[in-house]
Structure 1
């Protein structure tokens, strides 16, 4: 048993919606605001504008003004270390190129490349430092 609302309630709702829609169109077209909205605007114009709370302690507009200094050029390692690194990196690269191109290396060349790799690796491990240059430096940089 459902009861239907009286027909007069529906017509009042329709009239209310029609007034709201008419008021909306007038506001969007630049017409007069309804009284409640006009009162709110009048109150906000009379009150002084307070600055909004900003959780960031600085102005984000100034963010683009920082230019970091140019980093110093990367220094080349000493000649013995450079030769060792080229043996450690270069020998496998040459082997890989010959493998991809399906070419065969002479036995003396492959022996030389293996010796360059092993010798470079041993040199780099033997010349490693046992302690950091600055014992009080924990590696953190800001």
Structure 2
């Protein structure tokens, strides 16, 4: 670095740490908010006023035009504000899809991937010495099951609407 670069860098650092002078503002005067100025943002207590009503609440896609005005409110009348707020903000997810059973080949492949390692771990814990043929069969079963599962994986279909997280 040259001397001018060092001096410029030192001036930048000094100006960063220096306090602004009395008349100097680091932001526009229009953005200046005093301690007594009200904020334009709504507060939760602003919505507790009884004169503010939202009208009837309708589920999404319940209808348009005159159908939407005839719909019943989603929150029943006569419950307190806390319960109404809880009911409005509570999300109940849909039930999950059932786990697919798979066909016989897929179930055998999963058994070949899961069973041999568990069996070999149990044999090692018990300090047994299995024959070389059994170890060989366990390794072959594992590799065969793994290759079968990978080969039968579903690929991406061009007409599949679910593209995942596409950015």
**When the two structures are superposed, what TM-score results if normalisation uses the length of structure 2?**
0.43
Higher relative contact order (CA 8 A, sep 6+): 1
Q: Which has the higher helix share?
A: 1
**When the two structures are superposed, what TM-score results if normalisation uses the length of structure 1?**
0.49
